[in-house]
Chains A and B, each alone.
Chain A
Amino acid sequence: MARFKIVNGVKIDLTPEEETIRDQEEAQAAINKQAEIDAAAKKAADKASADAKLKALGLTDDEIAAL
């Protein structure tokens, strides 16, 4: 089904050029979202690794959380 936009309350189908642009926007959005997921996963893994190393040094969970 063709996409459409609302311009000042009027429903207008996207032109073929606009459809192409929207396809590109959505493709980029998917890339951006995956990058955010990957970054969040890396951050969580880094935190877990850091916590483990701090515990190995003798810090408690409360002390680690207080850092």
Chain B
Amino acid sequence: MTSILKADTIQDAAGNNIINENANTITIGASGDTVNIPSGATFNVQGTAGTGFDGRWALISTQTIPGGATYIDMDDVFSATYKNYLLVYTSVNTATDGEDLLIQVKTAAGLVSGGSDYVYGLGQIASNAHVSSGYSTGNSYYRLNNSGVGNAATESGSGTVVFYDPRSTTFYHNMQGMGAALNTAGEAISWWSVGTAKTTTALTGLRFLTASGNLDSGVLKLYGAND
């Protein structure tokens, strides 16, 4: 036998609302209350997250790099749903020793790869205290790191790239990267970089690649968030 308790409001002994339902809106607690999800419990959002969830990063795409891949493309991932995007690449292993990691972007018309479509600048520090930098005032890609990522069995590169407002049709598209890797000499390197795709066409996707050679392993995850 199933028992059903019908009520629009459940209150505590003092008359304070615990749960209220009105016109299909359910309110838990009241202003000033604390609502706890106990340790060990799981809190799932089955549908679309509503207001109050802005700012969190929502997973949009995951791609695992198989051995020998030349390009990793994420197509049709930038949409009106999110304003900004975060690419996280983890444990990327290059097939060729000393390769640089690059980003290209896509529009509905295809890959943005003209010889002066991108500008970038970057700085890098290594565990031997060597500080270096690089830049380009016109290139066919956005370069993330200044010296190459090593390809030994224990060497890889990981990092993030933020894509700011890639759907804008007013502004050029700014990107910002940070990363860490071991270089060809086995030194730890960390870099920070900025790149701009000089198009006001809305971006739809991205390409992750090395300057030369292929990618052997790693995972790419793209997240979206609103400002």
Chain A residues packing against B (C-beta within 8 Å): 1, 3-9, 11, 14, 21-22, 25-26, 29-30, 32-33
Q: Are A8 and B212 in contact (CB under 8 A)?
A: no
- Among B31-39, B64-72, B78-86, B158-166, the one that faces the other chain is B64-72
A26-B213, A32-B211 given as contacts; is B61 within 8 A of A5 (CB)? Answer: no
Chain B residues packing against A (C-beta within 8 Å): 61, 63-66, 68-76, 98, 100, 113, 140, 211-214
Who on chain A is nearest to B132 by CB?
Answer: A40
Interface majority SS (helix, strand, loop, mixed), chain B = loop
Who on chain A is nearest to B70 by CB?
Answer: A3
Most buried by A among B61, B63, B65, B98: B63
Min CB–CB distance A34 → chain B (angstroms)? 12
Q: Are A8 and B73 in contact (CB under 8 A)?
A: yes
Given A6-B72, A8-B61, 6 more pairs with CB closer than 8 A: A4-B69, A6-B65, A6-B66, A6-B71, A7-B75, A29-B100
Report A-chain residues with C-beta under 8 Å of the C-beta of B76.
Answer: 8
Who on chain A is nearest to B72 by CB?
Answer: A6
Q: Are A29 and B212 in contact (CB under 8 A)?
A: yes
Min CB–CB distance A14 → chain B (angstroms)? 7
Interface majority SS (helix, strand, loop, mixed), chain A = mixed
What separation, in Å, do the CA atoms of A9 and B221 have in the docked complex? 12
Most buried by B among A6, A21, A29, A32: A6
Q: Are B63 and A6 in contact (CB under 8 A)?
A: yes
What separation, in Å, do the CA atoms of A22 and B41 have in the docked complex? 50
